[in-house]
Amino acid sequence: MESVSLLSTLPSLSSRPFSQPSLQFPTSRHPHVRVCCLSGGEQWQMRRRDLVGCVGTVVGLEMIATYGKFTKEAEAADLIQRRQRSEFQSNIKGTLDKAIRASPDLVPAILKLALNDAMTYDKATKSGGANGSIRLSPELSRPENSGLASALSLLEEAKKEIDSYSKGGPISYADLIQFAAQTAVKKTFLDAAIRKCGGNEDKGRTLYAAYGSNGQWGLFERQFGRSDSPDPDPEGRIPQWDKASVQDMKNKFSAIGLGPRQLAVMSAFLGPDQLETETLLASDKDVLPWVQKYQRSRETVSQTDYEVDLITTLTKLSTLGLQINYEAYTYPVQKVDFSKLKL
């Protein structure tokens, strides 16, 4: 096995003839590598820059080995954290699905709760957004949030169960509310598929699995790790949707960077009766084409145009102005001391 050859000591760094040294210094990380710093003849001269270059080569090899080991460890840790977050998120969805299925009448309120928590975002100050502040009574009691307390109570009960099995700390209200909206949206599409199958749940699930747009939720699900605001967001940032004109709604959506298309696709979030809301929105020439587009899409088997645009818009809304902690809900893995195992 080859080793790295290097002069360990030199009487002088001046240009004097030396006999070729025979000292060999093996390295544990590179036993198969030989670095040659010697000239071809029996008598040769070592200059300062030769020595520096030789030492640099060996040190570089050691640094590469160390960096490679660090990179592998970092990649392994990242995979572990991603698995932890994925498993926790899967459990959250199960808990929320069970809770929402037990209270289907609260789906419209859950959607509006998520919308109003996110719509407090202000582009000028980059404040507000889906930060869970709607859970605080001064904000929840505002006129625009009337009727949402029951939805929040349902989620608070679900949170207790989620926190009981979380290994990486309690789930934030900000995450809880947005993921509850995702669960509610999925339920509406699944229910529509079941209706199209004459009420047969098994066939409806098969239809939704085959033609639904479940794969479009990837970006939404990666935005997992929102922090809760300790204070209510400022008043006056959200209109009362049931009393607002279409122009008021357009102005609010425009203020956060969205347009008539996104307003139309979010019609189910604006009130308990989606068709009634769409009838109002259709009175505006800018929103009308999009309302018609999504109504036609809902008549199809897959509802692709409507579902994909809804997922895209909700994903954007739920992350406005937020910094996501991508290590949230992770936890140290207990190392096994194999020396203490009895075989």
H-helix or E-strand containing 18?
strand 17-19
Report angle CA 7, 9, 10 to the nearest 5 degrees: 95
Highest mean pLDDT of the ranges 6-15, 157-166, 207-216? 157-166
Give the SS3 label for residue 161. helix
79-125 pLDDT, tens per residue?
999 999 999 999 999 999 999 999 999 999 999 999 999 999 999 99
Exposure string of 91-120, with b = 16+ CB inside 10 Å and e = fewer, is ebbebbbebbeeeeebbbbbbbbbbbbbbb
pLDDT, tens digit (0-9, with 9 covering 90-100), for 289-339: 999 999 999 999 999 999 999 999 999 999 988 889 999 999 998 765 556
Do the strands 43-45 and 17-19 form a parallel or antiparallel pair, or are they unpaired? antiparallel
Q: What is the pLDDT of residue 56?
A: 60
**Residue with the larger pLDDT of the pair 139 and 36:** 139
pLDDT of residue 306: 97
Question: Which comes out higher in pLDDT, residue 269 or 56?
Answer: 269
The predicted structure's pLDDT at residue 334:
73
Percent of the chain with pLDDT over 70: 75
Give the integer Cα–Cα distance in Å for 221 and 329: 14
Contact at 8 Å (CB) between 320 and 129? yes
pLDDT attached to residue 49: 59
The reported pLDDT for the residue numbered 323 is: 85
Which pLDDT value is given to residue 336?
A: 56
d(CA 89, CA 130): 18
- Whether the per-residue pLDDT at 235 is higher than 50: the answer is yes
Task: Give the position of tokens 């009487």.
Answer: 11
Model pLDDT, residue 244: 97
Residues 6+ apart with CB under 8 A from 160: none
Q: Indicate if the pLDDT at residue 16 is higher than 50.
A: no
> What pLDDT was estimated at residue 252?
97
pTM comes to: 0.77
Taking only the tens place, the pLDDT of each residue in 21-54 is 444 445 445 455 444 544 444 444 555 556 556 5
* Per-residue model confidence (pLDDT) at position 9: 42
Question: How far is Cα 272 from Cα 150, in angstroms, rounded to an integer?
Answer: 14
What is the predicted pLDDT for the residue at 17? 45
Reading the block at residue 164, the tokens are 């009981």
pLDDT, residue 63, reads 58
pLDDT of residue 321: 81
Of the candidate ranges 7-16, 131-140, 176-185, 230-239, the one whose mean pLDDT is the lowest = 7-16
Pick 283 or 60 by higher pLDDT: 283
Grade residue 66 by pLDDT with cuts at 50, 70 and 90: low
Please give the Cα distance from 168 to 339 (Å, whole number).
28
- Count CB neighbours of 134 within 10 A: 28
Angstrom distance (rounded) from CA 14 to CA 203: 87
What's the rounded mean pLDDT across residues 52-78?
A: 58
* 158: pLDDT strictly greater than 70: yes
Q: What is the pLDDT of residue 325?
A: 95
What pLDDT is stored for residue 23 in this prediction? Answer: 45
Q: Is the dihedral of CA 98, 100, 103, 105 positive or negative?
A: negative
Report the range of poorest mean pLDDT among 22-26, 206-210, 240-244, 287-291: 22-26
CA 152/CA 158 separation, integer angstroms = 10
As given in the structure block, the two tokens for residue 160 are 């207790």
Confidence of residue 19 (pLDDT cuts 50, 70, 90): very low
